[in-house]
Amino acid sequence: MENDKLTHVLGIVGTVIAVLMFVSLLEIARNNIFGNTNIVIQPIVTTVNCTVWSLYAHLKKERYVFWANFPGIILGLFTVITAFMR
């Protein structure tokens, strides 16, 4: 496999894994909504981290890094909001 193709495949795999990791925030949000927990630190840190990496990726034109982190901003913010819904 040539280097460009390998880089492309690794970029896609890394992006999919990162998105799956951020989807796990939905479980925290669900628990927040039903009052089973009130976790707020982890989604705040996730949101800040993903925002920084997305800005970096946008400036460097790194599409895999951008798309691996952008969902974390949205899901992180959603999860933070659910912590304060009660």
Q: Return the CATH number at 17.
A: 1.20.1280.290
Q: Which domain holds residue 19?
A: 3-83
pLDDT of residue 1: 59
With beta carbons less than 8 A apart as the criterion, state whether 76 and 22 touch.
Answer: yes
> Could you tell me the mean pLDDT of each successive run of 10 residues in the chain, 86 residues long?
84 90 89 87 93 95 95 95 86
Nearest to 68 by CA among 56, 53, 52, 48: 53
**pTM (2 decimals)?**
0.81
Nearest to 25 by CA among 46, 1, 3, 52: 46
- How distant, in Å, are the alpha carbons of 4, 54, 66, 75 from that of 27? 36, 23, 23, 11
pLDDT of residue 7: 86
Task: Please count the structural domains in the chain.
Answer: 1
